Amino acid sequence: MKGSEVICLLVLFAVASTTENIGFLDHIDYVSISDTAVTLLCPMEDGKVDPNNLNNTEFTSYTDQNNGLHFCNRGSEKFYFYTKLKVCKGCVEMGTGLVLTMMIGDILLTAGVILIVYVCAKRKAAPAPPQRAANPRQANAPLPPNPDYQRLNPATRSKDIYAEAKRPY
């Protein structure tokens, strides 16, 4: 990558990280989840929520059968909540920061192991053994006759049963 491309990429990441929460600064959580307890908070006239409001709906042991449409009344207004939640006892919600930290940590740990293996393998590598001189014969040249053996003479060969290979015709 060229220098200008890297700078452009860094600017894009910086802009994306700063605009992530724009518009959500006044975000109010109307659903509160803690272990298996779920509370649906009904908004008041000013849009705020009050955990002690009598119109709030609370499930102390939420299950999959509680999924669906719920509502709360504020005077003549009805506020609807559609829930489809999976809750469990002792579960921890993992935020984006925790997941990114785990991923980056895993990548750094893997890179460290690769670096250690590379350094150790490079240190212990022995010099290459000397290579033999190339064969002076050509690759497809016929084999020279061996002076230790002579060709079989068919007249002097044994005529026993297993002395010759029989080929089916």
Give the global pTM.
Answer: 0.40
Q: 107 pLDDT exceeds 80?
A: yes
pLDDT digits (tens, 9 = 90+) for 13-68: 666 665 454 444 455 677 778 788 888 887 776 666 666 666 777 778 888 888 88
Closest by CA position to 72, among listed 59, 63, 64, 81: 81
- Closest CA relative to residue 83, chosen from 95, 63, 71, 69: 69
Q: Which residues face 50 on adjacent strands?
A: none
Tokens found for residue 146: 């061996």
Each residue's pLDDT tens digit, 77-92: 888 888 888 888 887 7
- DSSP string spanning 67-121? -EEEEEEETTEEEEEEE-----TT--PPPHHHHHHHHHHHHHHHHHHHHHHHHHH
Q: Which two tokens stand for residue 28?
A: 């109010």
